[in-house]
Amino acid sequence: MSEHFGFIGVGRMGGPLAGHLIDAGHALTIFDIDQAAMAPLAARGAKLARSALDVASAAEAVFVSLPTPDIVRAVALDADGLIAGKRIKTFIDLSTTGPRTIGAIAAALEKRGIATIDSPVSGGIAGAKKATLAVMAACPRALFERFEPILKCFGRVFHVGERPGMGQTMKLANNLLSATAIAISSEAVVMGVKAGLDPRMMIDVINAGSGRNTATEDKFTRAIFPRSFDFGFTTGLMYKDVRLCLEEAEALGVPMWVGSAVRQLWQFANNALGPSSDITQIIQCIEEWAGVEVKSGN
């Protein structure tokens, strides 16, 4: 059944996701501060709004896909945000916002009769384009059942809990593992190259053995060996996710010795390479310290 949705944040992740909703026959009202980002969807029939408030006054359910917790909070709760909308009944956050931030947003929206689906996604830009994301939805079961068919437009959907914030916790745990995988794999491969091993052979052996992970199975061959460093996820966003995870662990009283070291390395990479650098460039920090470069033929 065709429905009308709002979508805020139609950049590298949100754009493909909004496109899948159009593919499924739904009508969209969209908003993004980048006018160019809205153009492809406008060409496909999406209506352009001038603000988040306009979106929330046009649609009963509004998706957001935004880069930072502060931006999500502002879009949701500012005077010209979703909370002031005339039609909105459901807020669906696809961003990585953090459990406490989405909890506070959900509590504020609930006072205005607006339900929240905490639904971060994992799988990167490639997964967004292919509709193969892992979608981690946290909300009451009845609300989940209402929106599960819609969320399936984005990939495989999981109901991870009844309470907003539980989806965020699941996403942060996932991204800590992803961040750790590329950091430690970079250290291991640089060590091997310094000792004279061929890096492609190393990756083949690792992927045939017990050390394989998301970095060795994908990121090295796609973006590190060609030296293209274009995986599509920024260092700044990865550092943000790791920082949020460690902050949540601290609040819960859970020790994270390895996680603390991973956060330190990503903080260094964020400062050294810049937040807009690609996550695969973290290996360049280790290469510089070791005095070698990871490329085929070493």
Are 76 and 97 in contact by the 8 Å Cβ rule? The answer is: no
Rounded CA-CA distance 15/65 in Å is 9
User: Which one from 129, 171, 219, 240 is the annotated catalytic residue?
Assistant: 171
Instruction: Provide the CA 91 distance to its chain's centre, in angstroms.
Output: 17
The SS3 call for residue 115 is strand
Rounded CA-CA distance 4/22 in Å is 10
Cβ contacts of residue 22 below 8 Å, gap of 6+?
28, 41, 44, 45, 46
Query: To 5 degrees, how large is the angle CA 249–CA 251–CA 257?
Result: 35
Is-catalytic flag, 171? yes
Task: Catalogue the active-site residues.
Answer: 171
